[in-house]
Homo-oligomer: A and B are copies of this chain.
């Protein structure tokens, strides 16, 4: 594969990764920046990202900030160089744990809170509608709590190096 083909393959990959990202809840540009950084051998500065992905400085800046907020990329600086560079976590299991931890915090915890507070009301025992509401919210709360717990166990960084092997055995 010659260099020209490679550049094209890579660009195509990054573009497509963005499309996939947006079919999740992730914005296209953020997914593309992440893909770009995952495939970068060395840390990259904002200008390079702007040029390669054809996006504005503001857009690059805010998506990089968000990615750093998720813990998926790190800011890197070199002594004697005032620019900031960015570098992605490249280990997929570490990435998975990071994402799991953040999603738990941002999505699971609020859901659990709503479900628990809803299910802990007092209801009329003779009203089937109230009974259903009570039992459904309770069942959902328990489910989410279980999911939470599993993610917790799985996303502890110590175990995350064992887990891949365990799971492969499990096939």
User: For residue A153, which residues in chain B have a CB less than 8 angstroms away from its CB?
Assistant: 170
Are B24 and A107 in contact, with the CB atoms below 8 A?
A: yes
Given contacts A20-B110, A110-B20, A118-B9, whether A167 and B139 have CB atoms under 8 Å apart is: no
| Binary interface encoding of chain A residues 75-96 relative to chain B, with 1 for a CB under 8 A from any of its CBs, else 0 | 0000000000000001011001
20 of the cross-chain contacts (CB-CB < 8 Å) are A1-B121, A1-B122, A1-B124, A6-B123, A9-B118, A9-B133, A10-B133, A13-B114, A20-B110, A23-B106, A39-B133, A41-B128, A41-B129, A41-B132, A92-B140, A146-B167, A146-B168, A150-B167, A150-B170, A153-B170
User: For residue A136, which residues in chain B have a CB less than 8 angstroms away from its CB?
Assistant: 38-39, 90
Chain A interface, DSSP helix/strand/loop, else mixed: helix
- Given A9-B133, A39-B133; 6 other pairs, CB 8 A cutoff: A6-B130, A23-B107, A39-B136, A92-B142, A149-B171, A153-B170
